[in-house]
Amino acid sequence: MQSTILSVVLLPLGLAIIMMGLGLSLTMDDFKRVFRQPRAVLTGLACQMLLLPAVAYGIAIGFDLAPELAVGVMLLAAAPGGPTSNLFSHVANGDVALNITLTAVNSILSVFSITLIVNFSIIVFMETGQVIPLQFKKITEVCLIVLGPVSIGMLMRSKAAQLAQKLDKPVKIASALFLTTIILLTLYSEREKLPDYIRLVGLPALLFNVLSMGVGYSVPRMLQLAKPQAIAISMEIGIHNGTLAIFIALSILGNSVMATPAAIYSLIMFLTAGLFGYLINRLK
């Protein structure tokens, strides 16, 4: 019963509220910025779409993770940045406008990239020789649950700015509450094996988090992007939309073990992101 309530009710509702909150913060200018700052946006997208899956794959192989946990790590890598990354970017003196743009574009592209990355992961790690059941119907579900609420939030921001402003804070609070509830319930559903999962995937999740932010900061700096842009990209690819990853694992794939890495990652990413932002700003 609890698993059904989580996957059928709480997850779609929580994800819809989180994505609507993202929409409330977006305008069309955020998408136009792709053409005004193409190098920064393309660098962030490349880190998210290409480098992170490679890092996750290396961690899964290096730690010899169980197949379902390995797929869960890859699913986490495919998940876009969460709206909370904008807040952490602001606190760490990052380019928040770039952050918002990356979150918006990543959320749209992830509808398709998640399918490719997770299908690849299932074939490689599960060794079933079959593609996972992300047929057109399932992809449509992901599109609706991701893009639908974002569109509603953007429409409200455009047509009823005062209402959108009033809803912004309550929606953010509700998003945080839903995220916490979803993480705790996901971990509780696997409570009997949770100590083993923490032992097996706790360190890989932490390492993936640190490497994600490290890649997100160092690659832009090597390409001579400004420090605020590098901070924004590091926060974007270091703070994932764990709720989306958990939703796909439980509601689309029907596998609670695959949701565990995202749940554990979500417990640690805010602490490490805060510490990372502090240390980066201490560097001369």
In this prediction, residue 225 has a pLDDT band, given cuts at 50, 70 and 90, of: very high
* Euclidean distance between CA atoms 251 and 195, whole angstroms: 24
- Domains parsed from the chain with CATH numbers: 2-282 (1.20.1530.20)
Collapse the DSSP code of 224 into the 3-class scheme (helix H, G, I; strand E, B; otherwise coil) and give the result.
coil
Task: Indicate whether 58 pLDDT > 70.
Answer: yes
* Euclidean distance between CA atoms 242 and 84, whole angstroms: 11
In this prediction, residue 193 has a pLDDT band, given cuts at 50, 70 and 90, of: confident
Query: Within the chain, how many helices (H) and strands (E) appear?
Result: 14, 0
Q: Are 191 and 254 in contact (CB under 8 A)?
A: no
pLDDT of residue 2: 46
Mean pLDDT of the chain: 81
| Residues facing 81 on adjacent strands | 240
Q: Are 49 and 109 in contact (CB under 8 A)?
A: yes
pLDDT of residue 156: 85
Element (H, E) at 100: helix 96-121
Average pLDDT (174-179) is: 76
pLDDT of residue 141: 63
Identity of the highest mean pLDDT range in 20-24, 60-64, 138-142: 60-64
Closest CA to 246 of 258, 234, 237, 238: 258
* Euclidean distance between CA atoms 133 and 139, whole angstroms: 10
Least-confidence region, from 141-145, 152-156, 195-199, 226-230: 141-145
pTM of the model: 0.79
pLDDT of residue 221: 93
Collapse the DSSP code of 55 into the 3-class scheme (helix H, G, I; strand E, B; otherwise coil) and give the result.
helix
Q: How many CA atoms lie within 13 A of 18 on its CB side?
A: 29
Both tokens of residue 146?
Answer: 């991701």
Average pLDDT (35-46) is: 88
pLDDT of residue 255: 83
* Euclidean distance between CA atoms 175 and 206, whole angstroms: 23
Task: Indicate whether 264 pLDDT > 80.
Answer: yes
Percent of residues, the chain, with pLDDT higher than 90: 23
Task: Indicate whether 129 pLDDT > 60.
Answer: no
| Residues facing 240 on adjacent strands | 81
Tell me which of 277 and 251 has the higher pLDDT. 277
**Amino acid of residue 15:** L
* Euclidean distance between CA atoms 140 and 144, whole angstroms: 6
pLDDT of residue 11: 66
Percent of residues, the chain, with pLDDT higher than 70: 87
Task: Indicate whether 175 pLDDT > 90.
Answer: no
Task: Indicate whether 178 pLDDT > 70.
Answer: yes
